[in-house]
Structure 1
Amino acid sequence: MRFPVAAYNGSRPSLEVDLFVANKLIDMYGRCGSIGDALSVFQSLKERDFFSWHFLLYGYIHNRYIEEAKLLFTRMPYRDIVSWTAMLAAYAKSNRLEEAKEIFDMMPLRNLFSWTSMLVAYARNGHLLDAKIMFLESPETDMVSWTALLTAYAQNGSVKSAINVFEEMPEHDIVAWNAILAACAQNGHTELALATFSRMPERSLTSWNTMLAEGPQLHSSDQVSQIFKEMPETNLISWTSLLAAHARDGHLELSKCTFDSMPEWSTVTWNALLSVYSRGDSTEQTDSLFGRIPEPDLVSWNALLASYARNSHVSNVIDVFHQMPARNIISWTTALGALIQDGNLELASRMLDQMPETDLISVSQLLSGYAVNGHMLEAFQMFFAANLVYAIDQACFVSFLIACSHVGSLDLARSYFLSMAGDFGIQSTRQHYCCLVDLLARSGYLDDARELIHTMPFFPGTLEWTCLHSVRA
C-alpha cells in the first residue's frame, strides 16, 4: 500500500534527543491515524532503535494495516514478547485464526496476554473446544482470561457452560457480573437474568443498560420505563433502549415524548422513532421525519421504503428505491413485495432477476403472487426451482396448493400435502388443510372434504366450512 508523502522536513536525527523526538512523532502519528506521516518520519531516520520499529508496528496494527504490519514484523531486528503478542492480537482481532495460531506457535516466549488473545480468537470463530483447551493449558489465568472464556460460551449460546465458568471463578468483578448478566439476557433466559441482576453486589451503567436493551425479551415498555426511572445515571444507550421499547410496542406519543426529552440523538435513535411512524398510515409524517435525520443510513431508507410499501404507494416505493445510496436484501424484498401486491408481476419478476442476492422470502413472495393471481405455470415452475435451491417452508406449500386448486390438480396437491411432513419435515397448518378442503370440494369430493375437516388436528373453524359450503352453493 502506498502512503502519502509526509510533510516532515526536519533534518535526519543524529543526536539521541532527535531520535527520542522522532520516535515520539512516529507514535503520535500512528495513534492519530496519520500512518503515512509516521512512515515518513521512520524512513527519514539514519539510525533506528527498538522504539522506532515498535512504534511503527503499533501504528500499522492500530490502523488495521495488517499486511504492512506483517511485512515490518519480518524485517524487525528487535522482537520481544510485546511485539510478538501485538502481531498475535492483530490477527486475532481480524479473525485470521490460522495466522494467529501460527504466530502463537512460533513465539519464543508467551505471557498471559498471549494465551488470552489466542483464547479470544478461538472463541470469536466459534471454536469453543479449542478456547477451553487454551484456557486449561495456560500456565496462569486471571480475571480477563476467566471472563473471556465465560463470554465465549455466552456468545455461542452455551449459557449453562457460561454459568458453570462463572461459578468456578475464584472471584467476580463487575466485568464478570456484567458478562454473565448479558449471557442470560441475550439468550432469552428471563428469570436467570432478573435473578442475576438482583444478586449483583454492585451495578454499573452497563448492568442497567443490559437490562434495558433486553426489553423486547424481558419486559413490556412500562417495565422498561420503570427500570429507566430507577437508574442512578443514564447515557445515550439508555435513552435509545427506552425509545426502542416504546417504538416496539407502537406507542407513538410516548416515543415522541422520549425522543424530545433526550439530551442528544444518534442515527439509531432517529431510526427508532422513524420505525414507529413507518408502521402507521401517514406516509407524509414518515417522509417529514426522514427529512430531518442528519445522516440517514440504510436502516433509515428501508424504514421510509417500508412505509410507502405498507400503504400501497407503489410509485413512491420505486422512486425511493432508485434514490437509495445503498441497498440490501431487505430493500430489494420490500420493493419486490410492493410490486407483487400491486399485481405488477412482470416487473416483479424482472426485479427478482436483478437482485444481487435472493433468499426464500423474496422467492416465496413472487411464488405467492403467481399463485394468487392465477399464473399457474409460473407458480409451479418457481416452486420446483425453489425446492432445488432452498429448504422450502410452509408459505411455499400454501402457494403451491393454491396453484393446484386453481387448475384442479387434486392428485398432485394430495401427493405433496402428504409428503410435507415425511419428506420435507414441515408441519401442516390450518391453511394447508383449508387449501386441500377447497380443492376436494371443487373436484366434487364433498364427503372426503367433510371427512378431512373432521379429522384434521385443529378444531374446525369458519374458514374450513366456508370453503366447503361455497362450492356446494
Structure 2
Amino acid sequence: MISHIGQRFPASISHFACRFTSSLALIGMSYNTTHKYDENSTPFDPLKFFNDHRLSRQPSIRNTKILHAHLLKTDAMRSNLFFANSLLSWYCKSSSMFVARKLFDSITLPNLQSWNIMISGYNGNSMFDKSWEIFCRQHSFGEELNEFTYGSVLSACSALQAPALGKQVYSLAMKKGFVCDGYVRTGMIDLFSKNCSFEEAQRVFFDVSCGNVVCWNAIISGAVRNGEYWAALNLFCQMCRQSLKPNGYTFPSVLTACCSLKELQIGEIIHGHAIKCVAADIFVDTAIVDLYAKCGHMDEAGRKFLQMPIHNVVSWTAIISGFVQENDSISALKFFKYMRETGEEINNYTVTSVLAACSKPGMIQEASQIHSLILKLPLILEATVQATLINMYAKIGEVGLSDSAFSEIKNVKDVRIWAAMMSSYAYNQNSRKAVESFLLMLQEGVKPDEYCMSTVLSTINCLHIVRQMHSYTLKSGLVIHATVGCSLFTVYSKCGCLEESHRVFEEVPNKDNVSWASMIAGFVEHGYAGHTFQLFKEMLCQEILPDYLTLTAILTACSALSFLQASKEIHGYAFRLGMGTDTVIGGALVYAYSKCRRLDQARRVFNMLPQKDAVACSSLVSGYAQNGLIEEALLLFHDIILTDLPIDTFTISSVLKAVALSNRSSVGTQLHAYTEKLGLQSDAHVGSSLVTMYSKCGSLEDCCKAFDHIEKPDLIGWTAIIASYAQHGKGSEGLATYELMRREGIQPDAVTFVAVLLACSHNGLVEEAFSYLNSMVKDYGIKPGHRHYACIVDLLGRSGRLKEAENFINSMPIKPDALIWGTLLAACKVHGNYELGKLAAEKVMEVEQCDAGTYVSFSNICADLGQWDEVLRIRELMKGCGSNKEPGWSFV
C-alpha cells in the first residue's frame, strides 16, 4: 500500500527538498559530531533516501528516530501524510509499536493506509488484541475499509481464536462487496480451518468460484492441518483440472498429506508434477525428502537430499528423523555429523531426533556425547529437549542418569519435564518412583495434564492407590479426557475389579477406539468374552467406526470362545472397511481360526497377507501344534526360516511347544541351538518354553540349564521350573524354587499353585500342601479351582488316606468334577478299595458317560479282586455307551 503512495511522491515533495538537504545529511554519520556542508558533495536525494529506507527489511530504529526528529523540526508531516505513514511503517518493522502508536495518535486525519499500517504492524508483532482494537476504532469512525484491512483483521481474529468476531468481519466484507477478493477469502478460510471446522472453511471456499492460487493453498493447507488428508489431495486434483499452476506453497502441503497417508505412489506422481511446475525450491525439496523418509524409502530420500542444491535445518532434520524412524541410528548419527561439519545451526527438532537415535541399549557413549553438545547450546533450556533427554536415558536403561538429567533442570515448572520423568519410571516398571514423582510434582505446584495422569496410572497395581488417583481425576476434571478415562478403567481391570472398570468406562464422555478396544480386551482377559459382543454392538450403534485395535480385540474374544461364526462375520466386516489384508488384523484372524480348529481357513488368511508379521507366523505355528498337527507346525517354521519371514520370541516359543508335544528331543536340541544363534535364549518366553520342552522330554538337568540362562525370569518361567521339579519327583527342590520366586518379588497365580501342590503331592508332603492351599486364599486372594483340589485328593490318595480324600471332596466349596472323582478312582485302583472305587466311578460316569478310562480303571479294580462277573458287566456298559479303549503306543 505504501508503494501506491510512493508513486505520487516526486510531485508532492519537491518544494521540501532544499529544506531537508543540509539537515538530513547528518543521518548515517555520528549523531554527536557536527559536519560542515560540503558544496562538492552529492546533493541529498529525499526520494532515494525514503525508497532505500522503505525497502530495507529491518529499518534502523536510530535512523528512523533521527528522520522523525527532522520531520518534526521542518513541520513536514503536517502538509504531507506520506512522511507519517512511512515513519509508521518503519517503526512497525523495527518492533517499536509503542512509538508507532504515539505517532499514529498524533496524526490529525489518518488515511486508509495509516490504519492498515497499524493493523498489520500489530499483527507482525503478535499484538493481535491491539489489531482488533484499531479495527474497531477505524470502523466506529466510519473510515474507509479495503481488502487489506479485512484480510489483516481476519488474521488477527484467527490468532485470537475468535471465529465469532471473524464471522462479523467477513459479513461486513461481504456487505461492502469484497467477498470475491482473494485476500479476504484466504483470511476467512484460514480462520475457520484453525479455529472452527474444516467444513466451514470449505463452505467459504466453494461459495464463489475461485481462480486465485493463494485461496487454493489456504484450503489445501487447512485440510492438512485438520487431518483431512484425502480432502487435501482431492482439492489439489480439482485445482490442477482448472489449469491453475501450483506453486512452492502448494506442494509442501499435498506432500505432507501423502506422508500422513503413507501414499508413496501418489506422492511420486506429485513429485513429478512439482518438477514440471516449480524450479529448485528448498521447501518443496524438503517435503519430497520427508515423503520418502516417512514412507520408509531411505535410499530414495537420501538420493533426493544429496541432489538438493542447498540445505537448511529443516531438510537436515527430515533426513535424520527418517533414519530414526527406520531404526537406523548409525546413519542418523552420521548425517548429524555431516550437518555439524557444514556449520548448519541445529534446532530443538534436530536435537530431539538425534536423542531418539541414541535411545538404545548399548549406546550410552553416543548419548553422553550428544548430551555434552546440548549443554554447550542454549537448546538445553528447551523443555522438549530436556524431556527427550530424560526419555533417552530411560530407554537405554540408565534410570540413574535420567534422575541426574532431571536434577540439573532449573525450571521444573513445565509439566512436560515431569511427564518425561514419570514415563521414564513407567518404562522401567518402577511404579513406586512414578507415584513419588507425581506427588512431588503436586508439591511443586505443577498441575498434571492428561498425559502425566495416564502415565502414572499405567504403572500402578495397588487398588488403594488407584482409588485415590481416581478421586484426584474427578476433583481436577482430568477424568473428562478419553486417555485418562481409558487408563483408569484399564488399571481397575488390571487389579481384578472388572465391575468398577466397566463403571468408569460408562462414565467416559468421549470414548475413542482405544477406549472401546481396551474395555473389550478387559472382558476377554477376565473370562467374560461373551460380554464383548454386546459392547461391540453398542459401539456400532453409536456410529463409531472401529479401527484395527477394536477389531483385533473382538477377534481375541472370538478366539477365547472358539466362536467360528463370529470370526467369519468380523472377517467380512474387516474387508468392508478395507482392512481385510491388514497385517495386525490378519494375525488376529489366523489366531481366531486356529482356535476354532479351522486350520485350512487360518492358512488361507495367512497366505493372503501381503506382509506377514511375527504374530501371524506364531499364531499359525501354535494352531498347528495345539491341534496335534506337529509335522505341519515344524514344516511351516522351516518355510518361515527359508523365506526370511520375521521370527520373534513368540514364534520360537510356539514351535518349541509343538516339539514338547511330540517329545522329539533331537529337534528340540536343534531349536535350542537356533535360539542361541539368534541370541534369544535369555528371553523369558523362549526360556520358559525351553524349560517345558526339556521337562516333557525327560531331561531335568537341561531344564535347569535353560532356566539359568533366562535373564529375567517371569511368572511363567518360574512356574515352568517348579512344575518340572514336581514332575520329576523333586518336590523339595520345587518348593525351594517357589520360595526363591517369592523373595524375588514375583506374585504367584493359580497355575503356580497347581505346580506347588503337585510338588507336594509327588513327595507326600500333606501338611505343606494344606498350608499352601490356605496361603493362596489368605495371602493372594486366589480361589482354588478343580485342579488345586484334585492335587490334594491325589496327595491323600498317594498316602493311602482314601477316607480323608472322600471327606475332603464332600467338604469342598465347589462341586467336584470328573477330574477330582477320577483322581480318587485312580488312588482306589492303587490301593484296591472296591467300594470307594465304585462310588468314584459312578460319580465320573454321571458327568462323563463315555469316558473309556473310567470304565477301564474300575474294571481293573474288579479284576484285581477277582470279581469277573462285575468286569463283564462293566465291559458291556462300556460297549453300550459307545466308548472304545484306544490301544496303547510308545515312542520306544
Q: Pick the TM interval, shorter chain.
A: 0.7 to 0.9
**C-alpha separation between the residues in 1 aligned to 2:478 and 2:795?**
62
CA displacement at 1:135 relative to structure 2: 1.5
Instruction: Tell me the SS of whatever aligns to 1:109.
Output: coil
Query: In the superposition, relative to structure 1, how do residues 39 and 419 fare at CA in structure 2: closer, same or farther (>3 Å)?
Result: same
1:420 and 2:769 correspond = yes
Q: Deviations over 1:276-316 (max 9, x none)?
A: 33234454444444333333333333333333332333444
Q: How does 1:72-151 map to 2 (within 5 A)?
A: 72-76=370-374, 77-80=376-379, 82-83=381-382, 86-92=385-391, 94-95=393-394, 96-112=398-414, 113-124=416-427, 125-126=430-431, 127-144=433-450, 148-149=452-453, 151=455
**C-alpha separation between the residues in 1 aligned to 2:720 and 2:568?**
33
CA displacement at 1:252 relative to structure 2: 1.0
**C-alpha separation between the residues in 2 aligned to 1:268 and 1:400?**
40
Q: 2:627 is matched with which residue?
A: 311
Calculate the TM-score normalised by the size of structure 2.
0.42
More deviation in 345-354 or 127-136? 345-354
**C-alpha separation between the residues in 1 aligned to 2:408 and 2:540?**
53
Q: 1:406 is matched with which residue?
A: none
How many aligned positions are there? 430
1:169 and 2:471 correspond = no
1:190 and 2:498 correspond = yes
Q: Which amino acid aligns with 1:102?
A: S
Aligned mate of 2:548, from 207, 232, 236: 236
Instruction: Tell me the SS of whatever aligns to 2:346.
Output: helix
Asked whether the 8 Å contact 1:305–1:331 carries over to 2, the reply is yes
CA displacement at 1:170 relative to structure 2: 5.1
Q: Which amino acid aligns with 2:582?
A: S
**C-alpha separation between the residues in 1 aligned to 2:767 and 2:488?**
46
Query: In the superposition, relative to structure 1, how do residues 154 and 119 fare at CA in structure 2: closer, same or farther (>3 Å)?
Result: closer
Q: 1:299 is matched with which residue?
A: 615
Q: 1:255 is matched with which residue?
A: 567
Q: Deviations over 1:309-340 (max 9, x none)?
A: 32333444444455563445733651353034
Q: Which amino acid aligns with 2:564?
A: L
Relative contact order: is structure 1 or structure 2 higher (C-alpha 8 Å, sep ≥ 6)?
Answer: 1
CA displacement at 1:385 relative to structure 2: 4.3
Query: In the superposition, relative to structure 1, how do residues 209 and 94 fare at CA in structure 2: closer, same or farther (>3 Å)?
Result: farther
**C-alpha separation between the residues in 2 aligned to 1:348 and 1:317?**
22
Q: Which amino acid aligns with 2:474?
A: E
Q: Which amino acid aligns with 2:550?
A: S
1:273 and 2:589 correspond = yes
CA displacement at 1:131 relative to structure 2: 1.6
**C-alpha separation between the residues in 2 aligned to 1:468 and 1:230?**
56
Q: Which amino acid aligns with 1:165?
A: Y
Q: Which amino acid aligns with 1:58?
A: T
**C-alpha separation between the residues in 2 aligned to 1:338 and 1:320?**
16
Query: In the superposition, relative to structure 1, how do residues 326 and 352 fare at CA in structure 2: closer, same or farther (>3 Å)?
Result: farther
**C-alpha separation between the residues in 2 aligned to 1:463 and 1:210?**
40
Q: 2:262 is matched with which residue?
A: none
What's the Cα RMSD here? 4.1
Q: Deviations over 1:402-425 (max 9, x none)?
A: 75xxxxxxxx52xx1222244795
Query: In the superposition, relative to structure 1, how do residues 26 and 341 fare at CA in structure 2: closer, same or farther (>3 Å)?
Result: closer
Instruction: Tell me the SS of whatever aligns to 1:380.
Output: coil
Asked whether the 8 Å contact 1:8–1:41 carries over to 2, the reply is no
Asked whether the 8 Å contact 1:398–1:431 carries over to 2, the reply is no
Asked whether the 8 Å contact 2:734–2:759 carries over to 1, the reply is no
Q: 1:57 is matched with which residue?
A: 351
Q: Which amino acid aligns with 1:161?
A: Q
1:337 and 2:660 correspond = yes
Larger Cα-atom Rg: 2
**C-alpha separation between the residues in 1 aligned to 2:521 and 2:799?**
50
Q: How does 1:444-459 map to 2 (within 5 A)?
A: 448-455=801-808, 457-458=811-812
CA displacement at 1:163 relative to structure 2: 0.6
CA displacement at 1:138 relative to structure 2: 2.6
CA displacement at 1:165 relative to structure 2: 1.6
Q: Which amino acid aligns with 1:92?
A: N
Instruction: Tell me the SS of whatever aligns to 1:257.
Output: helix
Aligned mate of 2:314, from 15, 24, 27: 24
Q: What is the aligned-residue identity percentage?
A: 13
Q: 1:42 is matched with which residue?
A: 340
Asked whether the 8 Å contact 1:150–1:162 carries over to 2, the reply is no
**C-alpha separation between the residues in 2 aligned to 1:299 and 1:37?**
34
Instruction: Tell me the SS of whatever aligns to 1:75.
Output: helix
Q: 1:374 is matched with which residue?
A: none
Instruction: Tell me the SS of whatever aligns to 1:214.
Output: helix
Q: Deviations over 1:72-124 (max 9, x none)?
A: 34235422454465144332355243212212222243441323433443454
Instruction: Tell me the SS of whatever aligns to 1:58.
Output: helix
Asked whether the 8 Å contact 1:212–1:227 carries over to 2, the reply is no
Query: In the superposition, relative to structure 1, how do residues 53 and 201 fare at CA in structure 2: closer, same or farther (>3 Å)?
Result: closer
Q: Deviations over 1:228-264 (max 9, x none)?
A: 3223232222222232222322111221221122121
Asked whether the 8 Å contact 2:694–2:703 carries over to 1, the reply is no
**C-alpha separation between the residues in 2 aligned to 1:396 and 1:340?**
21
Q: Which amino acid aligns with 1:226?
A: K
Q: How does 1:333-412 map to 2 (within 5 A)?
A: 334-340=657-663, 347=697, 349=699, 352=703, 355=706, 357=710, 359-363=717-721, 379-381=728-730, 383-391=731-739, 393-396=752-755, 399-400=758-759
**C-alpha separation between the residues in 1 aligned to 2:630 and 2:705?**
18
Q: Which amino acid aligns with 1:133?
A: L
**C-alpha separation between the residues in 2 aligned to 1:179 and 1:396?**
33
CA displacement at 1:341 relative to structure 2: 10
Q: Which amino acid aligns with 1:231?
A: Q
